[in-house]
Amino acid sequence: MAKKTVKDLNVSGKRVIVRVDFNVPIKDGVIKDDNRIVQALPTINYLVDEGAKVILLSHLGKVDHKDPEKTASDKKKNNMAPVAARLAELVKVPVKFVDETRGAELEKAVSEMKNSEIVVLQNTRYEKGESKNDPELSKYWASLGDLFVTDAFGSVHRAHSSTVGIAEILPSALGFLVEKEVTMLSKAVHNPERPFVAILGGAKVSDKINVIENLLNTADKVIIGGGMAYTFLKAQGKEIGTSLCEDDKIEMAKDFLSKASDKLVLPVDFRVAKEFSEECDNYIADENSIPSDYMGLDIGPKSVELFKNALQGAKTVVWNGPMGVFEMKTYAVGTIEVCKAISSLPGAYTVIGGGDSARAAIENGFQDDFSHISTGGGASLEFMEGKELPGIAVIQEK
């Protein structure tokens, strides 16, 4: 059965708690990228237009609760005040920020709310019980509202108080962003038009074991790039120098290679360097000629062409993870070229599964050239694994 969406709720005059993903990059109190705030606006604006009292919860960064000094430092660094201020600039109604996650000031602010007003709570991770889905905390937060809407796709894979606990108590629904994510990712992963090609990159095989396993069953081709490729190359008996490798995953890589037949596509050349640096000498080496004291930091031009060929004719493409150390310009070429290749496929349904690959596409101006760019790296990865996401599973059925 389909999940309820915000349009299935009667929200007028009701206190609606919305779990949003306002986990935006902030430096010295300045927001560097407000995309996650912007992505939540359709749900927020809908609730405002429908006369709801909108109470917004989000985490921001991490808060270490083990060491008091570190706790204080993390709280100062991950204060939601700049986020609430930016939201106030983007909506047409007043936004009240409450510098509390519980207490008299918060309760007063909620009780005094008029229809179509917005209250933003302090960072949910200020609460030690948030990440443990503490029942007492969930019950307290639920007491502030009448209804619950989840619109934080980047957090639905976590069973926290603000993602699952409140939804276990209040009538609940999906916001527009989460509804869109589920629809778009389902189309790519569960019901793809073929040929279906998956591209996986990033540093570690261990992060994507279940994704590889699932996609080898469902995709027509699985292209492997990034740091994880070197574990596969070593499994083939090739010299990888000082490249990133998970030795404890070599047997698993061998198993994947034997099962995959011709489905698995690996890079055949690399930009290598002696150090993890842009300044040191670097050059292109073939898969059989990486020197023992060099490391691979990006795929090379032959690999780019190989990957482009594997993508030809694809009708569905899912991409998760960069092809190299894309944060350094010298080693970003492979990622950018793969981005170009996917975005220019005629008539293809193309999805980026959040995280670094989404960042790479957006930073290089490709955000409008894909069918969908997910807002949740970890959540989209678990979706691609075929896992049930607790923050969605808990939402009421229609």
Which residues are known catalytic residues? 36, 204, 355, 378
Q: Kindly report the number of other CB atoms within 10 A of residue 82's CB atom.
A: 18
Task: Check whether the bond before 195 is cis (ω within 30° of 0).
Answer: yes
What is the C-alpha to C-alpha distance for residues 196 and 376, in angstroms, rounded to an integer? 21
CA nearest 146: which of 127, 173, 125, 128?
173
Three-state DSSP class for residue 53: strand
**392 near 19, Cβ under 8 Å?**
no
Crossing angle of the two packed helices 301-311 and 333-343, in degrees rounded to 10: 20
What is the C-alpha to C-alpha distance for residues 103 and 140, in angstroms, rounded to an integer? 10
**Region class of 354: left (phi > 0), else alpha (psi between -120 and 50), else beta:** left
CA nearest 268: which of 288, 294, 243, 292?
288
The CA-based diameter of the chain, rounded to the nearest angstrom, is 70
Q: How far is CA 225 from CA 208, 232, 288, 336, in A?
A: 12, 10, 16, 13
CA nearest 232: which of 196, 197, 286, 268?
268
Q: What does the DSSP assignment read for 140-180?
A: HHHHT-SEEEE--GGGTTS--IIIIITTTTS-EEE-HHHHH
Q: Kindly report the number of other CB atoms within 10 A of residue 194's CB atom.
A: 11
What is the C-alpha to C-alpha distance for residues 75 and 29, in angstroms, rounded to an integer? 13
